[in-house]
Chain A
Amino acid sequence: MKSDYLELTDVRVTFDGFVAVDGVTMTVLQGDLRFLIGPNGAGKTTLVDAITGLVPATGSATFGRTELLNRKVHRIARLGVGRTFQTASVFEELTVLQNLDIAAGSGRGPLTMLRKRSSTPPEVEAALEVIGLTDLRDRQAGVLAHGQKQWLEIGMLLVQDSKVLLLDEPVAGMSAEERQQTGELLQRVGENCTVVVVEHDMDFMRSFATSVTVLHAGRVLSEGTVAQVQADPKVQEVYLGRAEVEA
């Protein structure tokens, strides 16, 4: 079942002459928990934006042999590519349950849409369990703690039935305990999905990454396991070295 993998070939994004992503080629397999790291401005978020249709890009990005680039955002989402955002963007006025229910429902027909939800869909129940928010299901999402909002976002990806999960700094601003829980959550989720995590937190990466891609100035600088990447002198020069110093 390793046929469903995310494959990027020479992806390029340009803003008014500025090249933000400069020919990125990489492959992420199912079951992989890939971390995408790099200094500020390396093009990490832009790359995720390109894959999810937020910014126009050239090159190719395929998932299960289906081309993703230059489709509309919601079409890409329906192909099973989901993402989260740096700042948690859940629907604050809706409850946890409603958030998940909306995420689960893009395939619903008009008649289902126009009716009241009579019971909680099983996949939503399951997701509530996985992200540990079952007790808070009727709580407004706006009043959740920061970490809980991020988990809710991940939960929304799960019920959305995403095969590719693109997570943009999921643990930023979380406590150590929350990070640990999030990491374990990602490992559980990653068994059946292709997961790409954009992250700055090196400790978090070291603990949970199965593989790492380092971006620098819009290009792939290095790729491999955590150990391989850490040993790469180019990476030490532009990024990790500095991080070591900081740490």
Chain B
Amino acid sequence: MEALIGQLFAGLSLGSVLLLAALGLSLTFGQMGVINMAHGEFMMAGAYTVFVVQGVVADAGLALVVSIPLGFLVGGLLGLLLEVLLIHRMYHRPLDTLLVTWGVALILQQVARDVFGAPNVDVKAPTWLSGGVDLGFTQVPAARLFILALSVAAVGALAVVLTRTSLGRRIRGVVQNRDLAETVGISTRDTDRLTFFIGSGLAGIAGVALTLLGSTGPTLGTNYIVDAFLVVVAGGIGQIKGTVIAAFGLGLMQATFEYSTTASLAKVAVFVVVVVFLQIRPQGIFSIRTRSLA
């Protein structure tokens, strides 16, 4: 029974990690159609942010707290730079953004290698996040609980921004009808930049969180990017709701398969499930409701 609850938690936790990794993507990919393969490297940048901050701030807990907004900023600024320099001239060629950002990812990884060295760096966890938290009936790792809370907070904050603020209304306006938004005076250029900034910033936060669980090194991003994209695809286009459901769904599935078989088979099985899922519900993926077909 305890193992079962532990496993349920493991699945939720994995889901929250996937959610953090995919949330920014669902904004940049789902809402803007840009396939940003450098998203993983923005996560890496967030993780290295914690490492750098820990070099300045001795207390690991404080460093982590400081790193969350800072990681958002680092990821966001990298994203902004990418948008301004490259992506904005490619909105009509979404597939090509995939290859361009793959190149950017390669460069960023090598920059990390040249700046921080090829081996992983040591990021210390704050004492209040190491060890477990007793929930009465079972004990769960504090770090994972923290990440779960962080992902929920990130989704909440994003939802508030998208639905309650003028910026959010602008983003949704531009996504739904670019031309109309332009004619009513919304600057689509500014909105694009902001959307990309926020989406990439979320990657930075994900990177900060991942230092609690895994290695901080140049290849951190590559370990997550394929899974994160699968989540967005399964979740459906432009749907934060869909991303949340897909992340936790895939997380629970991976954990369940892994428990009953092996981690390798579980990864393969999750892929098969996503393909089968697309057979049943391509609607979540595909929607054509435009007047012209241009």
Contacts and interface: CB of A to CB of B under 8 A. Distances in A.
Q: Is A–B contact present in the complex under a CB 8 A cutoff?
A: yes
A89 B290 CA distance: 13
Interface residues of A, number: 9
B291 A89 contact: no
Contacts of A168: 291
B104 to A, nearest CB: 29
Contacts of B292: 85-87, 89
A15 B289 contact: yes
Nearest to B294: A87
Interface in B262-294: 288-289, 291-294
A54 interface: yes
A181 to B, nearest CB: 23
**How many of chain B's residues touch chain A, expressed as a range?**
under 10
A45 B291 CA distance: 7
Q: Is chain B's binding surface mostly helix, strand, loop or mixed?
A: loop
Q: Is chain A's binding surface mostly helix, strand, loop or mixed?
A: loop
A89 B293 CA distance: 7
Interface string A84-114: 0111010000000000000000000000000
A86 B291 CA distance: 7
B179 to A, nearest CB: 12
A88 B209 CA distance: 50
A89 B288 contact: no
Contacts of A55: 289
A244 B288 CA distance: 35
Nearest to B288: A54
Contacts of B293: 85, 87, 89
Nearest to A89: B293
Contacts of A86: 291-292
A75 B292 CA distance: 20
A168 B294 CA distance: 14
A168 B292 CA distance: 9
A45 B292 CA distance: 10
Contact of B294 (A15, A45, A89): A89
Contacts of A45: 291
A103 to B, nearest CB: 15
Interface in A66-86: 85-86
Contacts of B294: 85, 87, 89
B180 to A, nearest CB: 13
B237 to A, nearest CB: 15
Nearest to A169: B291
Contacts of A54: 288
Nearest to A45: B291
Nearest to A86: B292
Nearest to A54: B288
A41 to B, nearest CB: 11
Q: Among A15, A55, A86, find the residue whose CB has the most chain B CB atoms closer than 10 A.
A: A86
Interface string B34-60: 000000000000000000000000000
B162 to A, nearest CB: 19
Nearest to B292: A87
Nearest to B293: A89
Nearest to A168: B291
A85 B292 CA distance: 6
Interface in A37-67: 45, 54-55
A55 B293 CA distance: 13
8 contacts: A55-B289, A85-B292, A85-B293, A85-B294, A86-B291, A89-B292, A89-B293, A168-B291
Given A85-B293, A87-B293, 15 more contacts: A15-B289, A45-B291, A54-B288, A55-B289, A85-B291, A85-B292, A85-B294, A86-B291, A86-B292, A87-B292, A87-B294, A89-B292, A89-B293, A89-B294, A168-B291
